[in-house]
A and B are shown apart, each in its own frame.
Chain A
């Protein structure tokens, strides 16, 4: 087969890393970092995801075609969230005219 057999030790080390990051993210929740609590939680979750994707799901040994599909999937998810949030966050910047207060446009003879 094209995929190498990864030593058991590698998987166990990755697992221990994941446990460590779980303990870290839980611990960080008890420290007041202000808005950086969310940043830290997401950064740790992202690191854990990368460990699972690269080692457990074996993407580091996958072909370019599989890799580009994985990246495209997460890229599209990022687009979904980024554009949705940018819409909601900026809606109030340009107030829409209050339709009820607008007088009828002048009529030209």
Chain B
């Protein structure tokens, strides 16, 4: 049975909205409300980090100098690149270019995977250097020389923050990649139009937020106290 003409909705528009513009406004506001809760979620960890960095600055500086600044900077660029492909994916959805949309979504996932791969390598290096708090904490040689001035116990607090902050960030990226995969499946079924692409945009906003978290994590974890 077909609906009467006066009640027909455009593709993707839910019944309760006046028009697609109103729905779009509600979608954007909704995801931003979620992102505000995410700001507060990460914010708590950032506030705790600020306190301990202030209390044990020398230990944080020593810990920071164990991280590989080149890998950190390279990973930052990879993640910024994934934000570019994400925004181009949204643009492709706007212009109704389905092939470009799928291509950019897959590129975003690919760059995300590179980021996580580098992160996994860095985590592995922490085990090699025995600077994993609680699990494998026995810094030696060069690592010990860098950590000793700030006190080994306090250096352990730095690495707790390192793993907690980058770990939370990595979990968000894994979730983001799952969402991107779902978008690829939906785009293949042609469920987006130039008038309805809210899921692409909403996942994009989430992905950019995760990128912003890393924009702050990079200087706060890798660049403490300078490398001169």
Interface positions of A (Cβ within 8 A of B): 1-3, 5-6, 8, 11-12, 15, 18-19, 22-23, 25-26, 29-33, 37-38, 41-42, 44-45, 48-49, 52-53, 55-57, 62-63, 65-66, 69-70, 72-74, 76-77, 80-81, 84-85, 88-89
Query: Are the CB atoms of B80 and A18 closer together than 8 Å?
Result: yes
Chain A residues whose CB sits within 8 angstroms of the CB of B39 once the complex forms: 73-74, 76-77
Chain A residues whose CB sits within 8 angstroms of the CB of B54 once the complex forms: 85, 88-89
Least CB distance, A24 to chain B, in whole angstroms: 11
Besides the contacts A8-B88, A30-B228, what 7 more A-B pairs have beta carbons closer than 8 Å? A25-B219, A26-B73, A48-B212, A52-B212, A56-B83, A65-B29, A77-B39
Question: Interface centre among A2, A22, A31, by most B CB within 10 Å?
Answer: A22
A-side interface mostly? helix
Q: Which of B40-48, B116-124, B156-164 contacts A (4 or more CB under 8 A)?
A: B40-48
Q: Is B148 an interface residue (CB 8 A)?
A: no
Interface CB pairs A-B, < 8 A, 21: A1-B194, A5-B95, A11-B88, A18-B80, A19-B77, A19-B80, A22-B73, A29-B223, A37-B225, A45-B218, A49-B212, A56-B87, A66-B28, A70-B36, A73-B32, A73-B35, A73-B36, A76-B43, A85-B50, A88-B54, A89-B54
Chain B residues whose CB sits within 8 angstroms of the CB of A6 once the complex forms: 91
Least CB distance, A67 to chain B, in whole angstroms: 9
Query: Are the CB atoms of A1 and B28 closer together than 8 Å?
Result: no
Query: Are the CB atoms of B32 and A70 closer together than 8 Å?
Result: yes
Query: Are the CB atoms of B46 and A52 closer together than 8 Å?
Result: no
The residue on A at minimum CB distance from B76 is: A22
Chain B residues whose CB sits within 8 angstroms of the CB of A23 once the complex forms: 73
Knowing A77-B39, A77-B40, A77-B43, the reply to whether A30 touches B227 (Cβ < 8 A) is: yes
Q: Is B33 an interface residue (CB 8 A)?
A: yes
Distance between Cα atoms of A10 and B89 in the complex (Å): 14
Distance between Cα atoms of A66 and B28 in the complex (Å): 7
The interface size of chain B toward A, counting residues with CB under 8 Å, comes to: 54
Least CB distance, B47 to chain A, in whole angstroms: 5
Query: Are the CB atoms of A49 and B216 closer together than 8 Å?
Result: yes
Interface residue from B40, B73, B81, B209 paired with A76 (Cβ < 8 Å): B40
Least CB distance, A8 to chain B, in whole angstroms: 7
Knowing A53-B212, A80-B43, the reply to whether A1 touches B21 (Cβ < 8 A) is: yes
Query: Are the CB atoms of B43 and A30 closer together than 8 Å?
Result: no
The residue on A at minimum CB distance from B44 is: A80
Query: Are the CB atoms of B20 and A80 closer together than 8 Å?
Result: no
Distance between Cα atoms of A77 and B40 in the complex (Å): 6
Question: Interface centre among B21, B32, B211, B219, by most A CB within 10 Å?
Answer: B219
Chain A residues whose CB sits within 8 angstroms of the CB of B215 once the complex forms: 45, 48-49, 52
Query: Are the CB atoms of B69 and A81 closer together than 8 Å?
Result: no
Chain A residues whose CB sits within 8 angstroms of the CB of B219 once the complex forms: 25, 29, 41-42, 44-45
Q: Is B226 an interface residue (CB 8 A)?
A: yes
Interface residue from B33, B225, B228 paired with A69 (Cβ < 8 Å): B33
Q: Is B184 an interface residue (CB 8 A)?
A: no
